[in-house]
Structure formats: C-alpha cells, structure tokens
Structure 1
C-alpha cells in the first residue's frame, strides 16, 4: 500500500490503469513536463522505489528501462539514476507523408513482441522456421489467414489463402500471373503509387477510369472495358489511398457485375477494411470468381509485420500466382509469418488492431478540429485527403510545408495520367507523439491560410 507522504511525482498505481511499469514511466514523464522533476534530479534506487510503491523489483527495472528508451533518464554508474537533460532533436521534420498505423495507447508493444516470439519458438521447430516454405505459407499460417479474413467473408477454406511478404509483393505477383506485356490495367485517376511502379516495371499500362465521390463510376468502367480490353481492374475500395473514399455497397455490386459481364479480373487491394467503421462487403463477395482479394497486416498492426493474405479461389490461379511470386520474392519469411499467426490465433492481433483503430479515430478528431472546413477524411483509417485553396497547388504546398519542417504527399504522387486534383495526402499515424502531431497540423493549417511566397533555394 502506498504512503500518503510519498514525493508528489510518484504514481498512485491504478488496478485497471494498464501495465504498472508503464504507469511508472508515464508518471516520470508527466513530472518532468510539469517541472516537479528537473534535469539532474536523482531518482530513488530501484529496490527502494519498488518498496515504496509496493511492486516487485522487475516492475521498477522495466519502468526505468522504458524511461531510458524515452530519453527521460540516464545512468551514472555507482552514483545512481538521474533525470536526463532534454534531448536535442537534430531533425525537425515531422513526417505526415508515410501511411503507417499509429502506436496505440495502453499496448505494450515490446512485451507483445517478446511474448509472441517466445510462444513461436516454444511451439515451433526452429529448423522449420529457418527453411523454405514454397506453398504460400504453412498450414497454420494459411489457417490464420482464413481467420484474419473471417470478418470480410465468413468461414473460408484455408487452402484458398496464400501468405505473401506484403501487399506490394502480392500486387506485383498478380500482375505477372494475370497479364502480359503491353496489357492494360484500369484504375482510378488517383490511386496507390505501388500499382503504377509495378505495372511500369513489367511493361503494363495503367489507364484511368473516371471516379466521383463514391469511387469508380460504373458506366465509365464498362466503357473502358469495351474500349481497352483490359487484363485487370485495380480497386482500393475502402478508405481509398489517397482520397479516403469508401465505395458504397450498391456501387460495389455494380462494379462486380460489369467485371463479370466483361470477363475482366479484379485486384481488390483492401488494406484498411478492418480499420473502417462498418465497411461494406468486399467486391470479391459479389464476384468471387473474378476478384483476387488482398489484406495486409502492415497497415492494421505494424509496418514491420510484412505479411499479407491473398484470397484466390481457383487452384490453377493460385499455382500461377505462386510461380509468379517465387520469381522475385519466393516466400514470406517463415519467422515473421509465424509471429503473425501466433498473434492472430491468440487474440493479440485483434487487441493491437483495436488499439490502432481507437488511436486513429482520436487523431482524425484532432485533424477535423484543427483543419476545420478543409478536413475531408472519413473519421477512421490512416490518412486525410486535403483539397487545397486555389492560391496553392499541391507541389508548391508540399515544398512550402517542407521548408516548415513538415513532410506531406502531393496529389501528383498518386496520379494515373497527366492530370491530378489539387490536393495533398496527410498521414496521421507516423508521428508517435500526439502532441507533436497536433502542433504539426496547426502549423500546416496556418500555412494553408496564407498565400504562397517564393520558395527558392538558399545560396550559401
């Protein structure tokens, strides 16, 4: 039980306040922010602090380690542990250009990783984790993939699921497997740049199909199919990258019907479905024989988990896909795939994803408040598509933002063809600290409110 006369900065540990070591580290950080702890102050020895707080020594050791990781403390050998001087940031760039999941509150990622790997190594043959897996993942990995896809499709036969080293590899392998050089791929006027990168490398051509506020326009798709005889249609239908548009269910049905009528395959790249609020069923549910569905863990959990699941119902198409994949990626790393499987099957993935979803929504509320009438996000997902006032163009705004230490992505990066809308994509997840993100969004809002100046190169 804690003493009422403890120094003011010491935490009163809450039963339901999350891991105790994080509560202690958070208390240290808060005390430094409010000035009750100052650089150079000496902290109690770990055993004494453990006694004062009524916790075991390991908890305090982990708390001090976490505080050091945050650059709050420094050890001075036998003299003890002291509050560190503020760390000087050598770079002031605030990255709002990379679409990554935000770090969720209340989730001890280090502990999650250690426990997951420990379980993997305890239950798996190390030899199998260090050898080739040429069948699109182990049986366990494919079963985990089927479980991951259950919210979208219900029960699936795991044999229909292929494990890939990320969504970009899956897209490239599908292009190789399903198209030939000079074939046409239809996509929206602004879409994921990785599609264009892969198509260009393989000598395929992207042709844009008109889109509106609900996604690709069905009549325009049918017209393009009859005119260009495409090999594939690429769709990113949920919280689209970059526009954040979600195609409604009725239009998904219309697009699927056109694909069936015109006998064209669909690559449905759907990384944000699980982050969306009540998303419609995937297009693949309306055209199961036409569509190839991709779901990646990198956009829902963490970028380092380079695992994607691809739903391919036809066994001959699956084999063609695997042959294409092996030509450049061979397989997903078995250890990474095993960790993904462990997290999915033991519930860790769902808990982490729920934390990401909550944090993403908090950040969207923040962006909506700060960007006011300019905000056009969906309230969830990882990014905002910001249409610019007429006195800015997107490249000019991106350069101006860069000069203010903020990285954003101009619309040109997503354009399929010569024309693009006047907008930028703002990614909300890459900046770990919410207050830094808030400050960056305010700077960006102030920049948008004033007219552009000349941003020439300095001569030194």
Structure 2
C-alpha cells in the first residue's frame, strides 16, 4: 500500500488517492505490473467507502496510471520510459534495447555538411527569427522527404518542428483539448501515453488483430462515444503484427473520413521502409496530420521533423510551434536539409538498413526456439516469453543482467491483458558485437525461471 499521508487535505479524497499513487509510481514505490488491492479491500484498509475507491481507480485509469483487466484486477500501467542521460559511463549502464535509439556509428562525421551549409548560406539569415513554420526552401525539402511515403506535400503544407516529440506536442496542443477522446491501438507508444496523461486527453484503446487496428472496433467506438481523433505510430511497432494490407488501410480511412476524425500519423520510426502508399494519411489527406522525423533517421541531435497538414489545421499547428519554441533553429534545419539534398541522408539510411539486416539475422538465429516478430526493415522486434516469465518480471531481470527491454505492459491502453511479450529496439546497441552480446544475455535470462546474474561482468 502506498502512503497517502502527505496528500493535501483540501483535495477530494479520491483525487488525493490518485495523486499519492502517481507519486508512488514516480518514486518507484509501486512498479508497472503491480496488482493493486481490490476496491473492497482498499476501502476497508483506509476506512472509506467502496464508491470512493471506485472513483479513484476510474480517475487513475483516465490518467493512464493503471489498467483494469476484467476478471483479473487493477494493475499499475507501464509509464513512459526515461532514457538514460547521454554522456554517462557506458560501463555502468545496461545495453539499451528499450528506448528507441539510432545507430550512431553508421553516421559519418557531420563537419563537411556544416562547412557546405556555411559556404552556401548567409549565416546571418540562419541565425535570425523567422516564421514558426520554417523557411520556404527548407519546407520544400521537407515536402520531398514526406513524398517518399506516397503523400502529396508541398512547401505550403509542411511545417518544421524540433523532432517527433515536439511535433506531437505542437499538433495536440493546437488541435485538441483536455477531455478529448483519442482512438489509439490498444498497444501504443508509452511516450504518447505519458503525454495524454499530462494533458488530459482520454485514450480509447482499439483492439488489434494480425494487421493492427480492427476497423469494426474503431467504428463501434465512434458510434458509442465522441471520438475526436486517431493517433497511430505504425503497426511495425506492435507485437505479432505485420504491415496492414491495402484493404485494411482503406477500411480505416473510410471510418476516419465518415466520422471526420483528426488522424495524427507519426511515421518517424518507419524511415527504413521505402515502400510508397503504405500510410493511412495518403488515403485520408483532408483529415490527416502526418509526422516524418529526420532526427529518427540520422543526426538525432539536430532535432528536426517535418509535419504535413491540410489547410484547416495548418495555421493552428503553426501557432502551436510558436507557443512552444517560436521556431526551430534555421541553422539545424539547413544542415538537415543539406543532408537530404546531397544524398548523404539516403546513404546513411542504406548503411543502417544493411546493419539492421545483419542484426535481424542474428536475432532470428539465436532466438529460433522462441516466438518472435521482426518485420523487414523495422527498428523494433517482439519476443513472446515462456509461461514462467511475466513481461514486467523479465524486463526487471534483463535489466539487472545487463540489457534494457520494455514489457508489453508499458504499451497497454485500457482494460486488456497485454501479450506476455517484451519489445526490443534492434538499433539500440551501438555496434554489432554489442548487439550480439545483448542477445546472448537475453537468451541466458530466458532460460532461467527467476533471479539474475550480471552478465556484463
């Protein structure tokens, strides 16, 4: 039981309970996957009515703090991961396969690019204030980058943001309000779950099948309540799922248009997938806001992403950028655009694709006796665990043994039983030998039923 003694007395008791639970989660006093007491048991323990506990648990679920599973109970939900601070002692940190990370060693020294930008541009212009949406020439390059996914974009439909997280903040700040209901896959980005909790958005988890979100279930949600928007970050991040078929995408697009949903499609981590006409946005352009990150593909520290939006949302998103940072650094945008225009960006992506192919081969080979999902050219893989492991238990044991992975509980939305799986970021380890070492550690942990050994030593 978490401590509620320090909750403000003037707050309603059910709110005080929720706030104390939130603090306990932040402090690590309760962990993702922990089962909370039943309504009746907790009410009896602290001397309140069952109704108070019911209201508290409902509010906690609204804030994405807990997940209620029918017939199972109420569990602490997986929160958004906090990446380790860069620049620390790598020897003291687990090998990173939890937080989405680029393969930095596949990126050449950026100095020649910066030198070209300095020669080709007026540096005074690049260090002055400009409009929030970015310079026209940079937006034109962004339109070409977005067009790779089969989306018709132009400089007039593109805005420049400071990476995918800032894109999310600018878009949702501008287009939605606290209390709006947003449809998402029942397994969605932990970062977006955290954002929704902080801003008061209500997430409506839509059931999944082998192709991702089920259209009939989305339509049921639209009929049963007011759904304002749909957020998706791509089915390649989901366990047991491959790319949705054209039939599935058309079915979802029909519902989006019929109910006039605002589609926010964050395609940032699918840059290795070069197929066109694979996005929902291309099928519902009037309803779609599409995010394509450069930072996810190369030179992450530049913090550049492109947002494509129809005219009815464009000015509001521009204001959202202005409200947060006024504008993205034109200098960083110029460097990113030079990488794209010169072909360097494509060379880096090809290098990363080759490295990822090697890693995928090793992953499948070493884990061939287990059930895995690892789509072609996806940064993410999923590992289904043996029955004697839980997702949160394996996550904890793996980290203690030297590798950070994320259990499916972190991605779960609403009253579902998450798959007994963990997600691995294939691009996380800095080089191929470290990747192989990480997989060997995970195989060793898989074969144990409890406890851990620090296998990095």
Task: State the TM-score, normalized to the length of structure 2.
Answer: 0.75
Partner of 1:13: none
CA distance in 1, matches of 2:276, 2:215: 19
TM superposition shift of 1:214:
0.4
Partner of 2:450: 452
Sort the Cα spacing of 1:439 and 1:257 in 2 relative to 1 into closer, same or farther, 3 A.
Answer: same
CA distance in 2, matches of 1:92, 1:374: 28
Sort the Cα spacing of 1:156 and 1:175 in 2 relative to 1 into closer, same or farther, 3 A.
Answer: closer
Q: Is residue 438 of structure 1 aligned with residue 439 of structure 2? A: no
TM superposition shift of 1:96:
1.2
Partner of 2:114: 117
Q: Deviations over 1:154-199 (max 9, x none)?
A: 6532111111111111112221222222110110111112222222
TM superposition shift of 1:135:
3.5
Q: Is residue 360 of structure 1 aligned with residue 361 of structure 2? A: no
Sort the Cα spacing of 1:103 and 1:363 in 2 relative to 1 into closer, same or farther, 3 A.
Answer: farther
Partner of 1:318: 314
Question: How many residues matched?
Answer: 363
CA distance in 1, matches of 2:168, 2:331: 22
CA distance in 2, matches of 1:211, 1:244: 9
Partner of 2:325: 329
Answer whether contact 1:360 1:429 (CA < 8 A) is retained: yes
SS in 2 for 1:287: coil
Gaps of 5+ in 2: 1-88
CA distance in 2, matches of 1:244, 1:164: 30
TM superposition shift of 1:244:
6.1
SS in 2 for 1:276: coil
Partner of 2:186: 189
Answer whether contact 2:210 2:241 (CA < 8 A) is retained: no
CA distance in 2, matches of 1:236, 1:162: 19
Sort the Cα spacing of 1:267 and 1:89 in 2 relative to 1 into closer, same or farther, 3 A.
Answer: closer
Sort the Cα spacing of 1:410 and 1:302 in 2 relative to 1 into closer, same or farther, 3 A.
Answer: farther
TM superposition shift of 1:131:
2.0
Q: What pairs with 1:371-382 in structure 2 (closer than 5 Å)?
A: 371-372=367-368, 373-382=370-379
SS in 1 for 2:424: strand
Gaps of 5+ in 1: 1-87, 456-460
Sort the Cα spacing of 1:89 and 1:240 in 2 relative to 1 into closer, same or farther, 3 A.
Answer: closer
Q: Is residue 93 of structure 1 aligned with residue 94 of structure 2? A: yes
CA distance in 1, matches of 2:152, 2:256: 24
Q: Is residue 211 of structure 1 aligned with residue 212 of structure 2? A: no
Sort the Cα spacing of 1:438 and 1:290 in 2 relative to 1 into closer, same or farther, 3 A.
Answer: same
Q: Deviations over 1:79-101 (max 9, x none)?
A: xxxxxxxxx97426211112122
TM superposition shift of 1:151:
1.6
TM superposition shift of 1:421:
2.0
Answer whether contact 1:294 1:311 (CA < 8 A) is retained: yes
CA distance in 2, matches of 1:244, 1:435: 28
Greater shift, 409-418 or 208-217, is seen at: 409-418
Partner of 1:29: none
Sort the Cα spacing of 1:310 and 1:244 in 2 relative to 1 into closer, same or farther, 3 A.
Answer: farther
Sort the Cα spacing of 1:273 and 1:453 in 2 relative to 1 into closer, same or farther, 3 A.
Answer: closer
Sort the Cα spacing of 1:214 and 1:150 in 2 relative to 1 into closer, same or farther, 3 A.
Answer: same
TM superposition shift of 1:400:
0.7
CA distance in 2, matches of 1:259, 1:89: 45
Sort the Cα spacing of 1:92 and 1:229 in 2 relative to 1 into closer, same or farther, 3 A.
Answer: closer
CA distance in 1, matches of 2:277, 2:363: 25
Answer whether contact 1:103 1:356 (CA < 8 A) is retained: no
Q: Is residue 304 of structure 1 aligned with residue 304 of structure 2? A: no
CA distance in 1, matches of 2:189, 2:375: 18
Sort the Cα spacing of 1:146 and 1:185 in 2 relative to 1 into closer, same or farther, 3 A.
Answer: same
Task: State the TM-score, normalized to the length of structure 1.
Answer: 0.75
Answer whether contact 2:134 2:327 (CA < 8 A) is retained: yes
Partner of 1:348: 344
SS in 1 for 2:373: coil
CA distance in 2, matches of 1:150, 1:438: 35
Deviating beyond 3 angstroms after TM superposition, the runs of 4 or more aligned structure 1 residues are 241-245, 277-280
Partner of 2:421: 423
CA distance in 2, matches of 1:453, 1:404: 9
Partner of 2:248: 251
Task: Say which structure, 1 or 2, has more relative contact order (CA 8 Å, 6+ apart).
Answer: 2
